[in-house]
Chains A and B, each alone.
Chain A
Amino acid sequence: MNRVRNHVLISIDAGTIMAGARAVEKALTEEIVRQGLSDEITVLETGSIGATGQGVIIVVYPEGVYYGNVTVQDIPQLVEEHLLKGRLVKRLLLSELPKQHVVTKEKTGLLKEQPRIVLRNSGIIDPENIDEYIAREGYEAIGKAFSLKPEGVIEEIKKSGLIGRGGAGFPTAMKWGFAHNAPGDQKYIICNADEGEPGTFKDRLILEGDPHKLIEGMIIAGYAIGATKGFIYIRGEYSLSIERLEKAIAQARQYELLGDNILESGFSFDLSVMKGAGAYVCGEETALIESLEGKRGHPRLKPPFPAIAGLWHKPTVVNNVETLANIPEIIWRGATWYRGYGTEKCPGTKVYTIIGNVATPGIIEAEMGTTLRDIIYEYAGGIKEGKKFKCALVGGAAGAFLGPDMLDVQMDFANLKEYAAVLGSGAILVMDEDADIVDMLQSVLHFFKHESCGHCVPCRLGTAQLVKVIDRIAASKGIKEDIEKLSNISDVMRDTSFCPLGQSLCLPISSALKYFHDEVYARIPL
């Protein structure tokens, strides 16, 4: 058998498929055969490498060369020049390779090293092959977890200071502790993969790029709280994620990493994938549980919290994908190692999706405490076309608009709270000087009107009235009391809405009015 000379990774994710990755992959494989290189070159599929808007992306190892916007027509040249003759095809190189695209520890020239915990494997391994995950120390953490008692696992997570990445900013170990201590013959762990927060697609990267990491995290979580059954609730729109995860679960079962008596530990655990059907509110944990039970996704009132009475009224932990993806790393490398990243109050990293008017939109994993300025200017190449930064909507649609004075604030859950902002899902929607704030606020409010579940009066009618008011202002038909009305309605919603969906709408409104009161006011005819 010949030694494989090159590995060619082709990124298959929703974005690259959109750009024609499947056809390119087919052409590439055929061309390699045609040029007689099939013994020396292996083509592998990988998940997203974190770049978006760059078309089909191909990475050639061991050189670590990135090609972007590759088309079927480029393939013969690429194979002949690079793979056969060893010469780079310069016109296809990702010349403006942004910093977040560094996916390995190997530095290539000028690029800054980026810490990767959650996305350690994304874009490097073939997500459809469990062996590749195992080769990168995958499933080692399970063994270590089993050697600790469940209490020991919770203790380790507690020491790590891990905070849930879903948006509420709740310490993970505390949640686990509640469920662990709650009486109950059956307990459940649920992974919240109903990623619907506008501007957020980090969970999809993990689901599509490194599904086994999630599975491993869930096994450990299940072990810690005493759950023998886990569910992964995925948005119905994420068909590739569902497909990849189902494959991964089947492989894990085959390797007896799921099922009865895992690794002779006496612990049994299995997983199912559940498919959502289009409802943003199901990202709220109790609504998700209702939906999982086969009902309308109406939130429940808390308390009781799911950790005490959740799925089918059994103790249940609901964790976000990113939270769970942190777990194997923490257990395997230890809490102390983990605390080496991030801030005192919020250790570790955060995965951000940075989008809007930036030069290179995409995904980055940055240490907690990184400033908005660094993320925008260091990682995302600054504002597009050299324009001026106006503001960023941070944390999703229910996040806050942050103006230039917030660029240098260290971002973590605790610190942003001090500034009446939230980290939320980690979505950063950047707007340049040309962005129209009324227009953006209108879009946010329409979104909430569409996604309100309709259960409670303040949210159902509040969102509808907010839309009426903002539509009027946007059409330059508002009156000056309308601005006050926006605040009044959102305040009532904050105080009396049944669930966080309605309660959180005051944030975009109050922050938009804080920074851009005059701009909104200017839309009111005299």
Chain B
Amino acid sequence: MIKTKINNVDVETPEGTSILWAARKAGFNIPTLCQHPDLVPGGQCGICVVEIEGVPGLKRSCMTPVGEGFTVRTHTQRVMTVRKQLVELILSNHDTDCLTCIKNNSCELQKLAATLGVDTLEYPKFEEKLPIDKTSVSIVRDPNKCILCGRCTQVCSDIQTVNALAINNRGCDTVITTAFDAGLGNSVCINCGQCVVHCPVGALYENSQIEQVWEALHDPDKFVVVQEAPAVRVMLGEEFGMPPGSLVSGKMHAALRRLNFDAVLDTNFAADLTIMEEGTELLSRLTSGKNLPLITSCSPGWIKFMETFYHDMIPHMSTAKSPQQMFGTLSKTYYAQQKGIPPEKIVSVSIMPCTAKKFECQRPEMNISGYQDVDYVLTTREIGRMMREAGIDLKEMPDEPADDIMGDYTGAGTIFGATGGVMEAAIRSAYFLVTGRELENLDVIPVRGLKGIKEAEIDIDGTKVKVAVAHSCGKARELMDKVAAQLEKDGKCEYQFIEVMACPGGCVGGGGQSWGSNMAKRARRGESLYEEDKLMPHRRSHENPSVQAVYEKFLGKPNSEKSHKLLHTHYYKRSTVDGKVLPENKISE
């Protein structure tokens, strides 16, 4: 332990702790801008500088470890003046159209300027305007707001290993852009949106479809159905000032109803359905021994990542569509039929913690219903904005259930939102599908939690099934490299079933979640999902009465011909240059 004196407060911290964290422990909040708790500090902004007695100049507290006997001063006159000047410099090269900015009131730079009492724009503006990148269906990038903190490039290259964004040029011409400056939509970007949730300012945000959804809601000829992903119900509360991880399933349904959606349904229903399809697929592969390991396909960011960087894995992918897309298809087939609504009148909207879902719903193959299966995808942030616009305060909502016939869900469906959840849900049902008996202890603890790659061995009536779970594409890459090496060696792999989620923490950490995401908050949201799971009357997907009904009335049984046609999909090889589908594609089936 290292003893440091910070503004006359003695503090003891482990060796290697930065002065920034030591100061927080001592009760002093040193302002920062580029620093993010989940990333390696890069020292770009210089806001966090402090004085250390006997050391010349000012030191960046985010990158300077505590030293024995240091006497640190965090808020001297010099330091405070310098911080203000640095913010003024940043503002000279930043669009200060705060009132119309998407990040108004949630911008870290805006907060910092207010905290430090910046009251003038001291330096003249740089006049040159750069074009806004609108090439992507998921993400918009506005370089005029970018402060070059490097968070997006770090998360894109080091955590996700996608490398869509990189720093280019130098000096005051420095910009963050894609290879060949082609725009995110023409790059290897997987639309995961981690850049978006890490951006401190309004330089990165979702390609919004709020307007289209308002239009549909106001159109009396349209029947607008809405589904909400598992991870949204533990996030939306934060949009309304509730503590991180607040579980608001009932309030969410109520609020959506007040927004005038014609039917408030639930993605969790489709999550249960996914387990039926994917679980059955797993059993058939275990029986045949072919194309093992089976790899999950719920995460559209992961799908594009796999299609681009690991397309040799296509035969191993589960052909089951993601819950969003299963729901979309059923909303315009099964639901339309059961409710007697012409499918062309149905507008299918989904609320997702995800920006990649916007890309997924617009994939050309996602129209088996005869229409685009899911019409619009809104992120958690967007639905929060819509609710506020409509004067709805989520906190004040009563708890209401979702509507029938696609609104029931089990605890297994709800834990889809956390890393390991799909795996756990699949294990619960696979056990039943194989043995005809119910698994007694439903909590598969080894696949829970935020460890990058988790492993477990499940005994299904004497058959050992080894599974692995990875979250974040960096960890997925690590796992896929291992799998590929094993397969190349002797065609065998130690794992039979693998879950991959593109985002750190799984969907609770998705790129469509509220601004200011970090691992601690993601963990809290994940825990809430497991709490809801515990409270549910049914905790196994196959016990979901609505799922049983859809097979009975419409699909027949899991992996039936009809299920295959409607609920399964195929994948494409993509180019590492522009992320587009390669001409030499073979369909995976």
Please report A residues at the B interface, Cβ cutoff 8 Å: 279, 296, 301, 449-458, 460-465, 468, 488-489, 492, 494-498, 503
Contact = CB atoms under 8 A, between A and B. Distances in A.
B78 A495 contact: yes
A463 B124 CA distance: 13
A457 B90 contact: yes
A457 B170 contact: no
Contacts of A456: 43-46
Nearest to B175: A454
B57 A460 contact: no
Contacts of B57: 494-495, 503
**Which 4 pairs between the two chains have the least Cβ-Cβ distance?**
A454-B174, A496-B46, A464-B172, A461-B89
B148 interface: yes
Contacts of A489: 85, 89
B82 interface: yes
B123 interface: yes
Given A461-B90, A492-B85, A453 B123 contact: no
B338 to A, nearest CB: 59
B82 A450 contact: no
B182 interface: no
A198 to B, nearest CB: 16
A451 B89 contact: no
B82 A460 contact: no
Contacts of B93: 461, 464
Interface of B: 42-46, 49, 57-58, 60, 63, 78, 82, 85-86, 89-90, 92-93, 123-124, 126, 147-148, 167, 169-174
Nearest to A297: B170
Given A488-B85, A495-B78, A453 B46 contact: no
A462 B58 contact: no
A456 B47 CA distance: 11
Given A301-B63, A455-B44, A495-B78, A460 B86 contact: no
Contact of A461 (B60, B63, B172): B172
Contacts of B124: 465, 468
B89 A465 contact: yes
Nearest to A296: B167
A460 B148 contact: yes
B89 A463 contact: no
Contacts of A454: 148, 167, 169-174
Given A456-B43, A456-B44, A462-B89, A496 B171 contact: no
B89 A457 contact: yes
B108 to A, nearest CB: 14
Interface centre among A449, A464, A496 (most CB of B within 10 A): A496
Contact of A279 (B42, B44, B170, B174): B170
B171 A449 contact: yes
Given A301-B63, A503-B57, A458 B171 contact: no
Contact of A457 (B58, B86, B171, B173): B86
A508 to B, nearest CB: 18
A458 B86 contact: yes
A498 B171 CA distance: 13
A500 to B, nearest CB: 11
A460 B174 CA distance: 9
A497 B43 CA distance: 9
Nearest to B48: A496
A495 B49 contact: yes
Does more than half of chain A's interface fall in helix, strand or loop, or is it mixed?
Answer: helix
Contacts of A462: 89
Contacts of B147: 457
Contact of A452 (B49, B126, B172): B172
B172 A463 contact: yes
Given A465-B89, A492-B82, A496-B58, A451 B171 contact: yes
Given A451-B171, A463-B172, 4 more contacts: A457-B44, A465-B124, A497-B46, A503-B57
A452 B171 contact: yes
A468 B169 CA distance: 20
A462 B88 CA distance: 10
A495 B171 CA distance: 19
Interface centre among B42, B43, B171 (most CB of A within 10 A): B171
B52 to A, nearest CB: 13
A464 B126 contact: yes
19 contacts: A296-B167, A449-B172, A453-B171, A454-B148, A454-B167, A454-B170, A454-B173, A456-B45, A457-B46, A458-B86, A461-B89, A461-B90, A461-B92, A464-B171, A468-B124, A495-B49, A496-B82, A496-B86, A498-B44
Contacts of A463: 171-172
A450 B172 CA distance: 8
A526 B559 CA distance: 86
B58 A495 contact: yes
Contacts of B86: 457-458, 492, 496
Nearest to B94: A461
A451 B171 CA distance: 7
Contacts of B63: 301
A449 B126 CA distance: 14
Contacts of A460: 148, 171-172, 174
A393 B477 CA distance: 54
B571 to A, nearest CB: 34
Contacts of A451: 171
A152 to B, nearest CB: 33
Contacts of B123: 461, 465, 468
Contacts of A452: 170-172
Interface centre among A279, A456, A494 (most CB of B within 10 A): A456
B49 A496 contact: yes
Contacts of A301: 43, 60, 63
Nearest to B65: A303
A24 to B, nearest CB: 41
B73 to A, nearest CB: 14
A510 to B, nearest CB: 15
A503 B123 CA distance: 20
A494 B86 CA distance: 12
Contact of B45 (A457, A465, A488): A457
A212 B233 CA distance: 71
Contacts of A296: 167, 170
A70 to B, nearest CB: 43
A456 B174 CA distance: 11
B118 to A, nearest CB: 14
Contacts of B58: 495-496
Given A457-B45, A460-B171, A495 B92 contact: no
Contacts of B172: 449, 452, 454, 460-461, 463-464
A98 B43 CA distance: 49
Interface centre among B43, B44, B124, B172 (most CB of A within 10 A): B172
Contacts of B89: 457-458, 461-462, 465, 489, 492
